[in-house]
Chains A and B, each alone.
Chain A
Amino acid sequence: MNTDLALVGPARTGRSPGTVIAHLTARKAIRSGVLWGYIFGIVVASSALSYVSIYKTQAQRHRLDVAFGSNNATSALFGPAARLQTVAGFTVFKASMTLIILGAVWGLLTSTRLLRGEEDSGRWELLLAGQTTRRRATAQVIAGLAAGVGALWALTALITIVAGRSSKVHIAAGPAMFLALALVSSAVMFLAIGALTSQLGATRRQAAAYAATVLGVSYAVRMAADSGVGLHSLRWASPLGWVEELQPLTAPRPLALVPIIAFTIAVLIAAVHLAGARDLGASTVPDEVHDTPHLRLLSGPLGLAIRLIRSTVMGWGVAIAVSGLLLGLVAKAAGGTISGSSLKTVFTRLGAPGAGADAYLGVAFLMVAILVAFSAVGQVTAARAEESAGRLEHLVVRPFSRSSWFWGRLLVAVSVLVVSGVIAGLFTWLGTASEHAGVGFATTLSAGLNVVPPALCILGIGALVIGIWPRATSVATYGVLTWSLLVEIIGGIGALNHWVLDTSVFHHMAAAPAVSPNWGTDAIMVAVGAAGAVIGGYGLTRRDLQGE
């Protein structure tokens, strides 16, 4: 059975039964905290280092401040840009909102996984049959998660301190640690929120969806507060607003930690309390367990695949549409700052020559490409989960072959990715059109389709791994994606040679719409993916079905 189970017994770990869950959770949380701390640190360091290498003179820095310092569109998206003429101000502006949101997502996914996910998997039944109560178990998981946050903070701080020692960057250890604290504080709050929604929802997925809704609302509230329409005090109504109020590096306000800490403690107390007040596996919010049958899609495995991924795919679709729309809305303003500035050289180096909205979108579409690639990885891991959880068996013990299943799932995934590209193009166009940015529909549409090939390539690699080494599916596909991301982030400051850059799937994507898509390279990426899928499909028919 599951190897984790074997570790749970006190006899095996040699630890007192009172802390086994805490240790087990801590191990997983620290592992994930270290990985993300590494990414956080790299993002902060690369922002600071790229600033000092691009904006060398005082005049250049001043121009940057003029362009973004009072730009309502970017302020709404990324928070206000304070003191852009300094490294510190730019670093906060460039890195913090992205990391605050990433941290929140990490927090809610990690806590729902380690709380609700473990419970849903049935592992808790065993633990709770033993020595501990539900409340104590929940408190222990929270303690374990705290260790993960510690790891996230420590690594972020460490890398920032190291980068800050560069004489040009010059960020002292104290402010660097406070910056790391600010970045991690959203993770802390959303870990707590995830712990609470784990008690409210009936499944891990539901718990994560509730927490994500809180995140969405928090972001929207602070967005309104930061859009320069006189709603500034609204910031205090959003957890993400509190994080912004910490103002690390620029004008630190430790007092804003008070609502953050108070909120976290209150939410955690509520979570632990609710944990004891419900049945194992049950929810606090009434779960719709009875349902009239919806049979329309269930006439075969293909329909089943669509039905299973439907809600997730819609979530990704909304995220991609919103991103496209936002990028489209700010493209004109942001693109305006490129012209005549040294940014132009930077954008040229990033593969998006020229000026204006096109050039801006050319670089910014990397974000859309990443989202679409993430949804590809999600589909790969979902397909593998069907096998590892033993559900695929019910289909292939009937007159339905493994290859039909494999190619059916791939067909659905490919369709979803292509539609994602179309959505990205369409919504970007809606954004640019409403701002009269002068980017044509055909241009944004082809830019949208241009982000599909890297995702198809990753999908094909995932299909290959499913076929030949199924247990590595999740690690391999997330690995390829994370690696590509890191290469792009570090490569953005020009620190990598082209051999390394070539290992990133995104590096082969032309920066459309700044330049026209390179359909030839795109075809090669699709061909690589297709080859992976063919080999994977063959491998799948030649191997044992395998559980976790």
Chain B
Amino acid sequence: MHQLGSFDVQGFGGYDQVETTAIRTEGLTKRYGDVDALSDLSFEIPRGEVVGYLGPNGAGKTTTIRLLLGLIQPTAGRAEIFGLDCQHRSVDAHRRLAYVPGEANLWPSLTGAETLHLLGRVQGKVDEAYRQELVARFDLDPSKKVRAYSKGNRQKVVLIAALMTRSDLLVLDEPTNGLDPLMEQAFRRCIHEAKERGQTIFLSSHIMSEVEALCDQVGILRDGRLVEMGTLAEMRHLSALTVEATFDAAVPDLSRVPGVSSVQQDGRVVRMQVRGDVEPLLKVLAVSGVKGLLSREPSLEELFLAIYGADPSQTTPAP
């Protein structure tokens, strides 16, 4: 079982264990026909942690979250939230959590304000002052009807609806979907605040940098399997850059430079992945007549290919 943080759960009695563990899954599995959407997932997340749940599209992040919320039934295994079974005691579990879906399908005929009012009433508790602050912070016009909102604006509504409850646990499924960069900043600020208040946050994402910016702990999901779980520092090998260098003269051999992998040459253009320190690469480039340099964050798919190879069942990192 993957276990996070330094809590020694064994040392506590049953009741306290409930209080220290926010989410626990045991052999959680979901199969759709032939597709293993999620296989044998076991982990434990202590209270107060901010956990990133990272995986490329189709990895099983949404499936995990829908199982945690009791929206779908597991094929095998079980899950608990604050010690409450996700299937059989979902209503009690939901009292203590708030959820943000990646795609906000709201009632088109309600306005933003009406939607927030309704969702607050159904939740049963709302920090009214904080709600108003959030509306201002996310720059939402709540008098507009949902059908007139852009995708980003609808996403703001569900974000505010979740954050305004100040719930013990926030379950976020790719929550920045459709938000512009400015609003993404506002979102990050809210997550930092929630963390300071001691709220537990479970954030699914397929963007490495988002998880890096927000989370202390990371779980990595690939093809329905939890590949690794640990602190951000332990996941350093995952942080990488895709670099594209154009040379005006002979192209040097870059594959031996420390940290560089997946070197692909296309005429005078070389594309590669750089993990860890970029300094060794920069030193080599500086003396070899580089004309242009482009770098960007690799997609998780590219990254996983570089680290784990093409075979999804091979889950040990390549040397």
Contact A397 B71 (CB under 8 A): yes
Binary contact readout A145-172 vs B (1 if CB under 8 angstroms, 0 otherwise): 0000000000000000000000000000
Which of B98-106, B216-224, B241-249, B284-292 is the contact stretch?
B98-106
B109 within 8 Å of A (CB atoms): yes
Bound together, the chains give a CA A293 to CA B121 distance in angstroms of 15
Bound together, the chains give a CA A294 to CA B122 distance in angstroms of 16
B147 within 8 Å of A (CB atoms): yes
Count the A-B residue pairs with Cβ separation under 8 angstroms: how many? 89
Interface residues of B, count at CB 8 A: 38
Contact B71 A293 (CB under 8 A): no
A290 within 8 Å of B (CB atoms): yes
Query: Given contacts A294-B114, A545-B72, is CB(A289)–CB(B119) below 8 Å?
Result: no
Binary contact readout B90-129 vs A (1 if CB under 8 angstroms, 0 otherwise): 1110110001010101111111011001110111100000
Contact B105 A390 (CB under 8 A): yes
Q: Which residues of B contact A208 (CB under 8 A)?
A: none
A299 within 8 Å of B (CB atoms): yes
A398 within 8 Å of B (CB atoms): yes
Most buried by A among B73, B106, B118: B118
Bound together, the chains give a CA A396 to CA B124 distance in angstroms of 13
B2 within 8 Å of A (CB atoms): no
Contact A398 B114 (CB under 8 A): no
| Chain B interface SS verdict (over half) | mixed
CB-CB nearest in chain B for A386? B107
Query: Given contacts A295-B117, A304-B118, A542-B73, is CB(A401)–CB(B90) below 8 Å?
Result: yes
Q: Which residues of A contact B95 (CB under 8 A)?
A: 399
A4 within 8 Å of B (CB atoms): no
Contact pick for B122, options A291, A292, A300, CB 8 Å: A300
Q: Which residues of A contact B316 (CB under 8 A)?
A: none
Contact A395 B90 (CB under 8 A): no
Most buried by B among A203, A394, A397, A542: A397
Q: Which residues of B contact A295 (CB under 8 A)?
A: 114, 117
Q: Which residues of B contact A128 (CB under 8 A)?
A: none
Bound together, the chains give a CA A301 to CA B71 distance in angstroms of 18
Query: Given contacts A293-B114, A391-B105, A544-B71, is CB(A398)–CB(B119) below 8 Å?
Result: yes
Query: Given contacts A397-B94, A545-B71, is CB(A391)–CB(B106) below 8 Å?
Result: yes
Q: Which residues of B contact A298 (CB under 8 A)?
A: 110, 114, 117-118, 121
Q: Which A residues between 44 and 69 are near B, CB-CB below 8 angstroms?
A: none
Bound together, the chains give a CA A389 to CA B117 distance in angstroms of 21
Bound together, the chains give a CA A464 to CA B61 distance in angstroms of 31
Selected A-B contacts with CB under 8 Å, 7 pairs? A203-B108, A298-B121, A299-B121, A300-B118, A397-B69, A401-B91, A543-B73
Interface residues of A (CB under 8 A from B): 202-203, 287-295, 298-301, 304, 308, 389-391, 393-401, 542-545
For the A-B complex with A287-B148, A298-B121 known, give 16 more contacts whose Cβ atoms are closer than 8 Å: A290-B143, A292-B143, A293-B113, A293-B142, A298-B110, A299-B121, A301-B122, A390-B103, A390-B105, A394-B122, A395-B122, A397-B71, A398-B94, A398-B119, A399-B91, A399-B92
